[in-house]
Amino acid sequence: MKKSSFSLALLITVQLVIPLVLAGCWDSVELNRRAIVSGVAIDRGEGEAEKFVLSFQVIVADEISGENARGISPVALYTGKGHTMYEALANASRQTARFLSLGHVRVLVISEKLAREGIKDLLDVLERESDTRLTSLIFIAKNQPARDIMSTMTVFSKIPANDLVEKLDTTSKHFGYNYRMEVDDVIRGIQLRGGGPVINGVITDGSREAADTNDNMKTIAPHAVLKVTELAAFKDDRLVGWLKGDAALATALLHNKIKGYPAVIRYPGAGFLAFNVYQSQLEVGVKAADPEHPVFTVKISQQASIKESPNSLDLTSPKTLQNLSPVLIEDTAEKIKAAIETAKKYKSDYIGFGLAMERRDPQGWKKVRDHWEDVFAACEYQIEADAVIRHTDMRSNSFQVNP
């Protein structure tokens, strides 16, 4: 009984003493000593000694809050160079009076030049560093330094990184193939056997001379505009080409990432019609009796509405809508074919056929995974598409039908 009481007393003492020893935040940094980084641009430097050039978009809090605004830029850009990412970060910190805080980074932009050499090293740092977030969005700066993206002032947001995030959210919901790609998505894409990730491209469209000044926000037509553009296709960790048009759209379809997109189709005798494809569901199946020669089946079902019909078609007739469906189906099939053929040309399975093969036949996958890029480049596929035109929006026939 005495031994039990002694053990209980010792346990209570330890529980009371330990919190006193561990009290406080030994590595804390006060808010007024932090520089909040909203975006990071990563460029390829000259030579190996300065391989990485990091530009940090730092928020100037006084200009954002408005209470103590001085009329200066709401963000500042600090640049560091180094043989490694961490060294470049350390060199950038020499220029600022505050600690660079990476916990709020929303956007990472990598230059095309660096992406073509490989991005494994910088992704390792992002995954390993405790301050960074794997949910940050990642972009590739097409044909220009990534620093240019981070130094472009924008109209709809004082912080350029936030403007880029909002642009991506808008276009992904309504207009096409760009969708959210986070750091974690890219890391998992690189790990695909014989494949790679796809990453959104971004450019500064317009005059670079005025892009980094407040004057860019004071005109009706901004001198320079941040623009989300094509998809960057990778093989392993290296950029191999850019996807645009049908190939880019159908690549997003194959990943089931499309929320809605416009389809413009020429109909015999009626000119062009515009559809809003607002729902798409795609599945990839495979027959792999011989793992070296798999046959893939792409099944896709869609629902659409008519947005434009400037012709004399009788849209009040169910038969007319039924006749339009095959045209939309054919258009979708052609888009998917373009995406698959482009991936096969690059010999990179960024569209995910290997994942379908692994799920369907794990034993067969083990036989081909080490040379999957060759098997993928020669594989056969079938496309089974179906589409239903649900409605014609606010009216049926065009006013042009009735004289």
Segment 236-295, tens digit of pLDDT: 999 999 999 999 999 999 999 988 899 998 888 778 889 999 999 999 999 988 999 999
DSSP state, 77? Answer: E
Contact (CB, 8 A) for 185 and 367: no
Q: pTM to 2 decimals?
A: 0.87
List the one residue out of 187, 88, 98, 90 whose CA is nearest residue 146: 88
Q: How confident is the model at residue 97 (pLDDT cuts 50, 70, 90)?
A: confident
Q: What is the mean pLDDT of the chain?
A: 87
List the one residue out of 342, 341, 229, 332 whose CA is nearest residue 279: 332
Beta strands in 317-398 (DSSP E): 380-391
pLDDT in tens, 287-315: 988 999 999 999 999 999 998 887 778 88
- How many CA atoms lie less than 13 Å away from 344 in the CB half-sphere? 14
Asked if pLDDT for residue 22 goes beyond 80, the answer is no
CA dihedral 311, 315, 320, 321 (to 10 degrees): 110
37 forms bridges with which residues in the sheet?
58
Helix residue ranges, H only, 102-210: 112-117, 120-128, 146-150, 160-174, 183-190
For tokens 């073509």, the residue is 116
DSSP result, 192-210:
STT---EEEEEEEEE-STT
Residue 178 neighbours by CB under 8 Å, 6+ apart: 168, 171, 172, 200, 228, 231, 252
Asked if pLDDT for residue 162 goes beyond 70, the answer is yes
Tokens of 26: 């030994």
The pLDDT value given to residue 13? 79
The pLDDT value given to residue 310? 77
For tokens 């909203």, the residue is 38
